[in-house]
Amino acid sequence: MKTKILGLCLVVLLFSCKDNKTDNAMVNREIKQYTIEQFMDNEAVTGGSFSADNSSLLLSSNRSGVYNVYIVPSTGGELIAITTSDSTSVFAESYFPNDNRMLLSADGNGDEIDHLFVRDLEGNIKDITPDKGVKSSFYGWSDDDQYLYIGSNKRNPKYFDVYKMSIDDFTSEMIYQDDSGLSFSGMSSDENYFALTKSINTNDSDLFLYDVKTKEMIKINENQSKNSSQDFSKDNSKFYYTTDDGNEFSYLMSYNLETKAKKKVLEKPWDIVGSGFTSKGKYMIVYVNEDGKNAIEVLDSKSMKPIDLPDFEDKSITSVGFSDDEKWMRMYVGGSNSPSDLYTYNIETKEQHKLTNVLNDAIDVEDLVTAKVIRYKSFDGVEIPAIYYLPHQASVENKVPAMVWVHGGPGGQSRQGFSSLIQYMVNHGYAVLAVNNRGSSGYGKTFFKMDDRNHGEKDLQDCVEGKNWLASQPEINGDKIGIIGGSYGGYMTMAALTYTPEEFDVGVNLFGVTNWIRTMKSIPPYWESFRESLYLELGDPFSADSVRLKQISPLFHTDKVTKPLIVLQGAQDPRVLQVESDEIVAGVRKNGVPVEYVLFEDEGHGFIKKENQIESYSRILKFLDKHLKKENVPMDGTTESIEIEAK
């Protein structure tokens, strides 16, 4: 099977090793401040599938305000729109292997019920997974290019079966039926082996190979550990996977399908988070999560030595993909002060072409801030990594307010990536410390497990210590520090305002969990394979664990909130339901605390439409300017709500 591993794109960027003195030399010149409209006029581009003749790439861009599908010549030129949606985002999956038909995907305004579509050679678009309420995913192409593989939960909403679909008439047959909650994670090209994963908890997973001929289910790992399928060799003799068995970080292993022998292939001092072969097996691509950024190697499969890649100086390659003939490579290249642009590179001729220029021409990159990785000690001596953005205009004489930024999860990671919201806040004079509190991924399994069954406790203390670290910096006004986060980070914002009400001066909650009992009970059915893992980490809401889940749910303790709060929510969110935000706003308002509420009728778990991003980000900055930056803001109980209608 031609898998999608080569399209792996973790949002990461290279950070600069400049010290504060170099960065703050910028204070000697005027720093231009930009509007949110200027920041959101940056373009975001994803994907990059080569056409059969390598003449063009199929990609997604949000230049129209929502994501649409475009094609662009491989050597550069204008982007040509393929779809023109003005509401639901449409994403490019892949060109068909032998012609210029296109495979696309879209959900319903953030409801996460993805459908797959085909655009034929005449420009007609057809939904090839039309069942209502059914979620479908593209897994890859068959080796003979006559079929595509998809995952679908149409038979049972809880489980994803694997289907083989003809590219001629789009009829399909089920080739693997899941009745046990094992997640499909790969398949040999001869369809004889299926790689399947069973989540044990959020730290550990079992890895199996299902032998179609013998009906045998082979367990690959021997000990409890984190295991992840990566790829099969092109001759179907070996299976490659990552594991952290006996180690803090994940390393790459091979499993001989005939002899069952295992062999360590590659190990790094950080997690190997992805690996896969190009279509003919000439190259192996390896992704390493190196201190919150991607380190990418393209290895010659025979020698296992890295090939030379272009040097982009202060920027890094964040994602790569190959053409089917392995002669062309596409690359995303960016930095923490610059969104990633798309390049192509001809491996034989060494030609290099820049296909996009995503940073708004009106923005001077010198006015943006390069992230730095720092570490600080928490209350119990545990070292906490964090990513720090200090405004150019900050100095001992010009101290600035700051925000502690908390990532999503649980188990997520703040990474060294470009963020329009962070750069907008920093450009307007707010320092940002993106903390990777205990329980964050990327820093070893011991660190990852540290927040199990103590959410809202030790992880919250890590955020408080991040605030204390900020307050100790000479350029920071220690009396003006707030907290911001989305999803799990939104929960941490509310936990901070609830359980440590005097530590932070304001809170920004983007679609955060506030009632763990309800959230854990309302997990979408298609998360069934992961549900018990979450119960093990956080608690089972149908058991005595519900006592603790209620205890750590901010909704039941809103009387303790004393600091200004803004809440932002999407009405279509299937993960954190709108009622979570409705109720927390109502509860805090009873205290006479300033509360603002922004509700988007046409967004899900995260805001994807540019007009909504502009509205939400501008509202956040206005809120911070009013309640954090300005002196002596009266606590007059002012409240405000805004509801953004679907377009």
Q: Compute the distance between CA of residue 72 and CA of residue 79 in angstroms, rounded to an integer.
A: 5
In whole angstroms, what is the distance from residue 443 CA to residue 291 CA?
8
Q: pLDDT value at position 590?
A: 96
Domain extent at residue 469: 369-515+553-621
- Written as one string, the DSSP assignment of 93-109 is EEE-SSSS-EEEEE-ST
The answer to whether the beta carbons of residues 116 and 160 sit under 8 Å apart is no
- 599 within 8 A of 642, measured Cβ to Cβ: yes
Q: Where are the alpha helices (DSSP H) in 433-544?
A: 445-448, 458-471, 488-499, 516-521, 528-538
Specify if 17 maps to a domain: no
Residue 427 lies in a domain: yes
pLDDT score for 639:
57
Residue 2 pairs in a beta bridge with: 141
| CA dihedral over 96, 49, 164, 283, signed as positive or negative | positive
What residue type is assigned to position 185 of the chain?
S
Q: Is 213 a domain residue?
A: no
Q: Which residues contact 488 (CB under 8 A, 6 or more apart)?
A: 406, 407, 408, 409, 410, 412, 512, 513
Q: Give SS3 for 328.
A: strand
In a domain, 61, yes or no: no
Residue 460 in any domain: the answer is: yes
- Which pLDDT belongs to residue 643? 61
Assign 282 to helix, strand or coil: coil
The C-alpha atoms of residue 344 and residue 579 are separated, in whole angstroms, by 46
* Total count of residues recorded for the chain: 647
Q: Residue 90: what are its φ and ψ, rounded to 5°? A: -120, 135
| Residue 535 pLDDT | 86
Cis bond leading into 524, ω under 30°?
no
**Which amino acid, residue 480?**
K
For residue 320, the surrounding DSSP H or E stretch is strand 316-322
What phi and psi values does residue 129 have, to the nearest 5 degrees? -135, 65
C-alpha torsion 395→400→404→405, nearest 10: -90
Residue 601 domain flag: yes
* Whole-angstrom distance, CA of residue 78 vs CA of residue 92: 17
Please provide residue 547's backbone torsions phi and psi, each rounded to the nearest 5 degrees: -65, -50
Distances (CA, A) of 421 to 164, 185, 376, 404, 573: 41, 34, 24, 13, 20
What is the mean pLDDT, run by run of 10 residues, along the chain of 647 residues?
48 30 51 94 95 97 96 98 96 97 95 96 97 96 96 94 97 93 92 94 90 94 94 97 97 97 97 96 97 94 94 91 97 94 96 96 96 97 98 97 95 92 97 97 94 88 98 98 97 97 97 93 80 84 92 96 97 92 97 96 92 96 95 48 55
Angle at 292 between CA 619 and CA 274, to 5 degrees: 115
**12 lies in some domain:** no
Number of domains in the chain: 1
User: What tokens appear for 91 in the block?
Assistant: 């994403």
Name residues whose C-beta falls within 8 Å of residue 630's C-beta, 6 or more positions apart in sequence: none
Angle between helical axes of 610-624 and 420-427 (0-180°, round to 10): 30
508: CATH: 3.40.50.1820
| Residue at 446 is within a domain | yes
Query: How far is the C-alpha of 533 from the C-alpha of 526, rounded, in Å?
Result: 14
Tell me the sheet residues that pair with 433. Answer: 388, 404
**Strands 294-300 vs 316-322: parallel, antiparallel or unpaired:** unpaired
User: Considering Cα of 348, then 350, then 351, then 353, what sign does the dihedral take?
Assistant: positive
pLDDT value at residue 452: 83
How buried is 478 (Cβ within 10 angstroms: 0-12 exposed, 13-18 middle, 19+ buried)?
middle
pLDDT of residue 526: 78
